[in-house]
Amino acid sequence: MTTATHEETLGFQTEVKQLLHLMIHSLYSNREIFLRELISNAADACDKLRYQALDNDALYEGDSELRIEIDHDPEAGTVTVRDNGIGMNREEVIENLGTIARSGTAEFLKQLSGEQQKDARLIGQFGVGFYSGFIVADEIIVRTRKAGSDKAEGVEWHSRGEGEFTVADIEREKHGTEIVLHLKADAREFADDFRLKSLVRKYSDHIEVPVRMPKVEKARDADGNEIEGSETTTWETVNEATALWVRPKSEISDDEYKAFYKHVAHDFSDPLTWSHNKVEGKLEYTSLLYVPSRAPFDLYERDGARGVKLYVQRVFIMDDAEQFLPLYLRFIKGVLDTRDLSLNVSRELLQQDPKVEKIKSALTKRVLDMLKKLAKDKEAYQTFWNTFGSVLKEGPAEDYANRENIAGLLRFSTTHTDTGIQDQSLADYVSRMKEGQEKIYYIVADSFNAAKSSPHLEIFRKKGIEVLLLHDRIDEWLMSHLTEFEGMAFVDVAKGELDLGEIEGEEEKKAQEETAKAKEALVKRVKAALGAEVQDVKVTHRLTDSPACVVLPEHEMGFQMRRIMEAAGQKLPEVKPILELNPEHPLVARLEAAEGEGFDDLARILLDQAVIAEGGHLDDPAAYVKRLNALLSG
């Protein structure tokens, strides 16, 4: 019996209190997942001890047979999960069991509500599987000691899930962790031998660490009858305890692949797809990579934890080996097991090892091929795109070598469908191009509605030319690195000179030149009236319904990107737009007939309206309103 000392009572972090309330009062649809989460945590603890013991064998303390044990007491209504892994010290206990690492965010708090199934998936999504024990238990006791520490440095953690917990120092003979669940009255079913074994085989059969349970046997007399009081207890392994990724693909079922994903990713949803490959030759490694169906909460935190689990000859090395996939594929989960990296390799050495770059290149192509195959299932790929599309758009800037392959995986809104759904590929666009069209046209705006309503689309709609409607924050940055697709250049319809190539006939081009010549005097007057507010004034053939539009120089940063940069505190040089006038519009005809101050005011109104139509901001909106009111009342 251990005696507790230095006992203190502490309050849970606010997020944990809300999570515990969710566990205790909301989650009843999938209660059995608590065991999978506790076993997964125990397996991770064993992996970490195995890795650290490579440099310090004494950490095993004479017990190098790593294992997980599950015991139960039906009469007391308890389930105990113990391991002889790395264990925790007092500080780690308080940090790991009293807070939620990397998830104390507003986004996390927002998602702590909703229907039961969604909430259940959140447990794994935020890496807080330990707390799932409170789904079935009204009291949890944790006893642990860090491997290599003194026996007197054991720690006991205790909580009833009511907003606070106690931590006390204890003497603990063995390193590792023991979790005792005192089951709720309506959860006593889990203190059953058959029930526990079936859950281990259902959720944790693939875990390489043996999961053992006690087996009680009684001696029998000569007649085969059990002899009372002759009970002996042995421990039997109830999971297969073989690393799933080393087994032949032909022997692994889809359900096993899905179960392994949930273990690796701590997710409660099935993956969208996966790829399992063994490579032999100059490099030898096995990879099992998954595409999740839902995004982790920190997807857009580029510095967040990411990467695959790294093993060297089935020896665990690290959880988040980010060196083997580029940042734009940070949503990929899985395992990499290689023979070609030294066991004592450090993170710094990994980055310098040329073999790492070769494996990274191969895994990147493997993932892109996996996504290409997934794209054949339009519904499944749309799920992927809605979840991870914005991240994949980072690819062309980060991975020049695979830029064409990434481009083929991108999806966009276009004028072909006129919906805000990004479901059209560049291949779809190219297949619909008009005869004589040699370029891929696009426009960037703050929103889908702003993009589809832009005056710049008027000539394209008139001629039936499809335009990509880009409205994600990252889109302008994407297009600055994605210059062509299948040999065809991308053209921003709101920048530079408009050239529709062979789509416009010679007679049409000649008529445009004649119109521009006839309006030279008007253009000169407008330019004089606007002065330094514009870079130039021109007659346009872009417009059919609007009186004017503003155009930026071909290589200038667009309005959307300027606003993003300025919001981030970047000071940018002023850029003056080019004002283009529609010579066929009644307002332009009225402008041409105006004189003096009325001409100047109307010219500024047309400029301001054009800027607003592009999503720009006016320096003096009050002056614009005053001029517009004067025009309307005149």
Q: Where is average pLDDT lowest: 60-69, 350-359, 522-531, 620-629?
A: 350-359
- 125 annotated ligand-binding residue: yes
Six token digits for residue 148? 């290599």
As a whole number of angstroms, the distance between CA 225 and CA 248 comes to 45
Q: Answer whether 598's CB lies under 8 Å from 592's CB.
A: no
Whether 12 has a pLDDT exceeding 80, the answer reads no
- 535 annotated ligand-binding residue: no
Write down the pLDDT at residue 4: 62
The pLDDT-based confidence of 498 (bands split at 50, 70, 90) is: confident
- 104 annotated ligand-binding residue: yes
Q: Answer whether 296's CB lies under 8 Å from 331's CB.
A: yes
Write down the pLDDT at residue 111: 45
- 83 annotated ligand-binding residue: yes
The whole model's pTM is what?
A: 0.70
- 159 annotated ligand-binding residue: no
**Interval 502-536: pLDDT, tens:** 777 788 888 888 988 999 999 999 999 999 889 99
- 575 annotated ligand-binding residue: no
Write down the pLDDT at residue 22: 64
- 561 annotated ligand-binding residue: no
Q: In whole angstroms, what separates CA 534 from the centre of its chain?
A: 42
Bridge partners, 441 (sequence order): 491
The pLDDT-based confidence of 461 (bands split at 50, 70, 90) is: very high
The pLDDT-based confidence of 146 (bands split at 50, 70, 90) is: very high
Write down the pLDDT at residue 69: 97
**Interval 337-392: pLDDT, tens:** 987 775 444 444 555 678 888 999 999 999 999 999 999 999 999 999 999 999 99
Q: What is the DSSP pairing of strand 137-145 with strand 154-159?
A: antiparallel
Write down the pLDDT at residue 393: 95
The pLDDT-based confidence of 324 (bands split at 50, 70, 90) is: very high
Six token digits for residue 58? 């004494």
Whether 115 has a pLDDT exceeding 50, the answer reads no
Write down the pLDDT at residue 287: 95
Write down the pLDDT at residue 394: 94
Q: What is the mean pLDDT of residues 542-559?
A: 85
User: 632: which residues sit within 8 A by CB, 6+ positions away?
Assistant: none
Residue bearing the bigger pLDDT, 617 or 368: 368
As a whole number of angstroms, the distance between CA 256 and CA 121 comes to 19
Whether 113 has a pLDDT exceeding 60, the answer reads no
Of the candidates 212, 178, 180, 219, the residue with the CA atom closest to the CA atom of residue 197: 212
The one-letter amino acid code at 79 reads V
Write down the pLDDT at residue 512: 85
**Interval 376-435: pLDDT, tens:** 999 999 999 999 999 999 999 999 999 999 999 999 999 998 788 999 999 999 999 998
Write down the pLDDT at residue 634: 65
- 126 annotated ligand-binding residue: yes
Q: For every residue of 26-84, which 3-state class applies, written as one string?
A: CCCCCCCHHHHHHHHHHHHHHHHHHHHCCCCHHHHCCCCCCCEEEEEECCCCEEEEEEC
Bridge partners, 79 (sequence order): 72, 181
Give the chain's radius of gyration (CA, Å).
33
CATH topology of domain 411-503: Rossmann fold (3.40.50)
Using DSSP, state whether 510 is helix, strand or coil: helix
- Looking at domain 506-633, its CATH superfamily turns out to be Heat shock protein 90, C-terminal domain (1.20.120.790)
Q: What rounded mean pLDDT belongs to the chain?
A: 85
Residue bearing the bigger pLDDT, 83 or 15: 83
- 41 annotated ligand-binding residue: yes
Q: What is the mean pLDDT of residues 270-285?
A: 92
Encode burial over 215-249: b for 16+ CB neighbours within 10 A, e otherwise.
Answer: eeeeeeeeeeeeeeeeeeeeeeebbbbebbbeeee
- 347 annotated ligand-binding residue: yes
Write down the pLDDT at residue 274: 97
CATH no. of 5-237? 3.30.565.10
Question: Which option is the CATH number for 244-387: 3.40.50.11720, 1.10.10.10, 3.30.420.40, 3.30.230.80?
Answer: 3.30.230.80
- 129 annotated ligand-binding residue: yes
Write down the pLDDT at residue 1: 46
Dihedral angle of Cα 614, 618, 619, 621, to the nearest 10 degrees: 180
Residue bearing the bigger pLDDT, 627 or 177: 177
Domain ranges of the chain: 5-237, 244-387, 411-503, 506-633
Q: What is the mean pLDDT of residues 222-248?
A: 82
Of the candidates 247, 323, 240, the residue with the CA atom closest to the CA atom of residue 278: 247
Q: Where is average pLDDT lowest: 119-133, 466-480, 499-513?
A: 119-133
- 130 annotated ligand-binding residue: yes
Bridge partners, 215 (sequence order): 234
- 88 annotated ligand-binding residue: yes
- 537 annotated ligand-binding residue: no
As a whole number of angstroms, the distance between CA 107 and CA 284 comes to 41
As a whole number of angstroms, the distance between CA 452 and CA 479 comes to 18
Write down the pLDDT at residue 116: 37
The one-letter amino acid code at 384 reads F
**Interval 528-541: pLDDT, tens:** 999 988 999 999 88
Write down the pLDDT at residue 352: 66
Residue bearing the bigger pLDDT, 165 or 156: 156
